[in-house]
């Protein structure tokens, strides 16, 4: 596995853990980021999607597919852009940006590794 693939592989485990938390214990995490406690299923649906993305990342990382690796860089940076937009429009707490920063930081790790290849 290349260094870029490894960065995506490890990020996939972050997504799995985040997904499990959002599915099983959303009200443990949400207040930490100044979100109201969830009473509707939307957060668990989002957790399921995050979990499945984690599976994609983990299984695709081992293929060393450069196109997939590049796509993850773009999409993870886009998460930060979207989250900033959500905050600007008043749809979310500014704390949401911290999740986007994690994604963008991991994307930078992958991008740097790709440039060295």
Mean pLDDT of the chain: 95
As a whole number, mean pLDDT of residues 17-31 equals 94
Measure the CA–CA gap between 56 and 24, rounded to whole angstroms. Answer: 20
Q: Provide the whole-model pTM.
A: 0.90
Q: pLDDT-based confidence at 91, cuts 50/70/90?
A: very high
| Integer angstrom CA distances of residue 96 from 13, 25, 34, 44, 51 | 20, 18, 9, 17, 18
As a whole number, mean pLDDT of residues 49-73 equals 97
pLDDT, tens digit (0-9, with 9 covering 90-100), for 36-60: 899 899 999 999 999 999 999 999 9
């Amino acid at each position: 596995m290349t260094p870029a693939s490894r960065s995506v592989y490890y990020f996939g485990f972050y997504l799995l853990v985040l997904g499990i938390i959002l599915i099983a214990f959303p009200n443990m995490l949400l207040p930490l980021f100044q979100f109201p406690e969830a009473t509707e299923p939307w957060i668990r649906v989002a957790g399921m999607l995050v979990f499945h993305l984690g599976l994609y990342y983990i299984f695709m990382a081992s293929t060393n597919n450069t196109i997939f690796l590049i796509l993850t860089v773009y999409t993870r940076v886009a998460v930060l852009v979207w989250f900033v937009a959500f905050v600007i429009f008043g749809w979310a707490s500014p704390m949401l940006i911290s999740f986007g920063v994690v994604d963008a930081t991991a994307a930078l790790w992958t991008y740097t590794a790709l440039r060295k290849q």
